Each structure stands twice: as C-alpha cells, then as structure tokens.
A and B are shown apart, each in its own frame.
Chain A
Amino acid sequence: MTAATLQTRRLTLRQPQASDLPAYAAYCASERSHFVGGPFTEARTFDRFAAMIGHWAIRGFGRYVIVHEGRPIGHVGPLAVHEGEEVPELSWTLWDAESEGHGFATEAAQAVWTHLSKDLGWSEMLVRIQPENAASIRLAEKLGAERTEEPAPDHYHGCLTYRLTAKVPA
C-alpha cells in the first residue's frame, strides 16, 4: 500500500481533495495543460480531477497533490489506467509558472520514485513525455530514466517513452 502522504524537505505530497479543485482548474484552463490535451472546459476539468481521485480509491495508489507552504502547486505520482498496460506510469505537473525553477517537480518526483522503488519494491515505471517538453525530459533524465523506442499509446499520441528501472542493491 502506498503512503497516504509523503514529506520532502520543502513539500507535502498528499491525496487530492475537493479544496484543490480551483487551483487544478486554473491549470486546466491555461495553456500549461496543452501537453496533456488541454486547455479543458470546466466540465472536463471536473471529470478529470474526479477520475484522479477515483484512481486512488480503485487502485490504492495514485497521483499526489504537491503542496508548498499550504498551497497546492501541482501533482505527481503513479497511474495505471486499465488499458492492458502492466507497467505503471509516473507523471508530474506543476500547475502554475511561478512554481517553476525552484526544483519542486524534481524534489516531488524523486520522493515518489524513491518511495515506490525502495519502500514498495516497484521495479520499473514508464514516463511518457511530449518531445517538445524539454523541462520534463530533463527531469526524467535526472531521475535516471532511459529513453526507449516504445511507440506512443493511443491515449497519448506523439509522446516519447522513458523507462525508470530500480537499482538492485549490491
């Protein structure tokens, strides 16, 4: 069972809740969501956030909301949508531009991957990134993810696929 919350040096990672919806909606309405098919209408935003929450209830794990000084600033974590895909994905997103450039996404993604691989023994995860998303590609490489030749899935056309593999302790 994944931890309900994770604490890093500057961030709290916790399950999404109703009070996060306005901040998430601002992200979904902005150009920042274009890497995942946005901007989205209010209705689609509600449905997407509900599905993010439902993922936790169904799978027992899901994406955490990244909280910095009490403010929700993004989401990060594993997802495994039922599409015959056995290796879960790790994804991360910062919801607003002012949260960028502080290393928050790196700090959050590293904490989640460390928890999943060290505490829970997950051996591998996929990271799917659009080729023009340079910041995310840098982060994936920093985590130690390696580029694969795997084709993009139907739900995320045109993406590159990276693979994270847990280091087996010597």
Chain B
Amino acid sequence: MTAPVLETERLILRRPDDRDTDAAIAFLTGERSRSVGGPLSLGQAWRAHAKMVGHWTLRGFGLFAVTEKETGRTLGISGPYYPADWPEKELGWHIWDAASEGKGIAYEAALAARRWAYGDLGWPTAVSYIDPSNARSIALAERLGARLDTAAERPDDECVVYRHPGPEGLQ
C-alpha cells in the first residue's frame, strides 16, 4: 500500500514511521497525553506508535504524521482512524508539541486530512471522538464546522462525539 503525501501551506502530512518515534514517545510518556489515556510507560508508548503505523496497512488509511515543511520536525498526528472498536470512522488529531499550539497547525492539518478522507477515500461523513475536558480540541472541531452529536454511538462513555459537515456541506 502506498500512502499519500499531503502538502499544505506550512505542513507535509505523510504516513508515520521511525522518523516520528522519538517525538511520539515524548508525547505519549508525557503529561500532554492525558487526553488519550496517558502517560504511558516507554514500552506501551512504543507499541502505541507501532499500532498507529500498522493501522495504515490494515485499513489502507490512518493518522498522518504532521510535519513542519521548513524543518521536517514532527508536530503531531492527524487524520482518518478506524480501529476495531470504533463505531464509525473518525478524524483524529493530537498536537504533540506544546510550542506548536495556537498557530492554526492542527486546523491546517485536519482540513487537509478531511479533504483527503472525503475525496480519495469517499467517506460520506466523519466524526471526532473528544475528551469533554479537552477545550482546545473541542474548539478545533467547532472551527472545522463539526457539531456535537448526542445521538451517535460512542466507543466509550468518557468521550463526546462531534460530527463533521459532510462532503456536500463543504463545497
């Protein structure tokens, strides 16, 4: 399977690999991973990163590594995600690097990933599962036009579901 490379004004989105391992582990073992069930041990973090990478092979899509065009640095992950226990297909995102927040990086990446999911993958709809205490992530979902969907099935009782406007709503 050949994964695409998406280019935006400031970012390159590509399939994650070993170039992202150190940044992934720093995030997953640190305090910033609370919203995804962290902090994890080193071994758990490594496996979690490997799982993100392998998801691409099993599904033909996955979370992209979001890298800074200028430096090549990995700032986080963003993109389509559908593990076995998700009720429906998700657009997920995590900005790993605290210094990259507040610059519209996550928005820029999520827009590109959503366009790819609707265009190339042909998704008719998409949700984002968000920890209700994660105000920054909720603000991003709303900026993307997603709205709280209390009727949607959830993967667990902890999260809330935001539903994105469909492809036709974005023309």
**A and B together in one complex:** yes
Whether B50 lies near A55 (C-beta < 8 A) is yes
Whether B21 lies near A17 (C-beta < 8 A) is no
Give the number of chain B interface residues (Cβ < 8 Å).
Answer: 26
Selected from A51, A83, A84, the residue in CB contact (under 8 A) with B51 is A51
A52 within 8 A of B: yes
B119 within 8 A of A: no
Chain A residues whose C-beta falls within 8 Å of the C-beta of B54 in the assembled complex? 49-55, 57
The DSSP consensus for interface residues of chain A is: helix
A122 within 8 A of B: no
Given that A43-B84, A43-B85, A58-B21 are known contacts, is A17 also in contact with B57, CB under 8 Å in the complex? yes
Whether B53 lies near A53 (C-beta < 8 A) is yes
Highest count of chain A CB atoms <10 Å: which of B21, B51, B54: B54
Chain B residues whose C-beta falls within 8 Å of the C-beta of A47 in the assembled complex? 51, 83-84
Distance, CA A16 to CA B57, complexed state (A):
9
Chain B residues whose C-beta falls within 8 Å of the C-beta of A81 in the assembled complex? 43, 46-47
24 contacts between A and B (CB under 8 A): A16-B57, A17-B57, A18-B58, A43-B84, A46-B58, A49-B54, A50-B50, A50-B53, A51-B51, A53-B54, A53-B57, A53-B58, A54-B49, A54-B51, A54-B54, A55-B50, A58-B18, A58-B50, A81-B43, A81-B47, A82-B42, A82-B43, A84-B42, A154-B41
Given pairs A42-B85, A51-B47, A57-B18, 9 additional interface contacts (CB within 8 A):
A47-B51, A50-B53, A50-B57, A51-B54, A52-B54, A53-B58, A58-B21, A58-B50, A59-B18
Identify the B interface with A (CB < 8 A). Answer: 15, 17-18, 21, 25, 41-43, 45-55, 57-60, 83-85
